[in-house]
Amino acid sequence: MIRKGLKVIVLTGKDKKKEGEVIEIDRAQNKAKIKEINMVKKHVKTTKEKKGGIITKENFIHLSNLKLVNTKSKKKTEVKK
């Protein structure tokens, strides 16, 4: 089971074969955010508290496109649902 803080590897997409740490999980949609993977640019309006502009941040990836990495033996393990 994939949990916050575990290391995973991306199986498909533009960031294929990259490893990262899980930051956030959305169980309702079966998606996870991985640190510095699947980066997207977002346009933000200026407000009283924040300066506007273009920021880059992580976007969600579906759990079926991720695989756990065993940190002790550095081998990929099967994802159990």
What is the DSSP track for 14-30?
Answer: TTTT-EEEEEEEETTTT
The answer to whether position 1 is within a domain reads no
- Distance from the first to the final alpha carbon of the chain: 7
Instruction: Specify the CATH number for the domain of residue 59.
Output: 2.30.30.30
Considering the domain boundaries, does residue 68 fall inside one? Answer: yes
Q: How many folded domains does the chain comprise? A: 1
pTM tops 0.85, yes or no: no
56 part of a folded domain: yes
Q: Which pLDDT value is given to residue 21?
A: 95
pLDDT: is 3 or 78 the higher one?
Answer: 3
d(CA 15, CA 38): 7
* pLDDT of res. 8: 95
The CA–CA distances, whole Å, from 12 to 44, 51, 67 equal 29, 35, 10
Is the residue at 37 inside a domain? Answer: yes
58 lies in a domain? yes
Residue 75 above 90 pLDDT?
Answer: no
Residue 29: inside a domain: yes
Range of the domain at 40: 7-73
Q: What are phi and psi of 68, to 5 degrees?
A: -65, 150
Rounded to whole angstroms, the Cα distance separating 39 from 59 reads 6
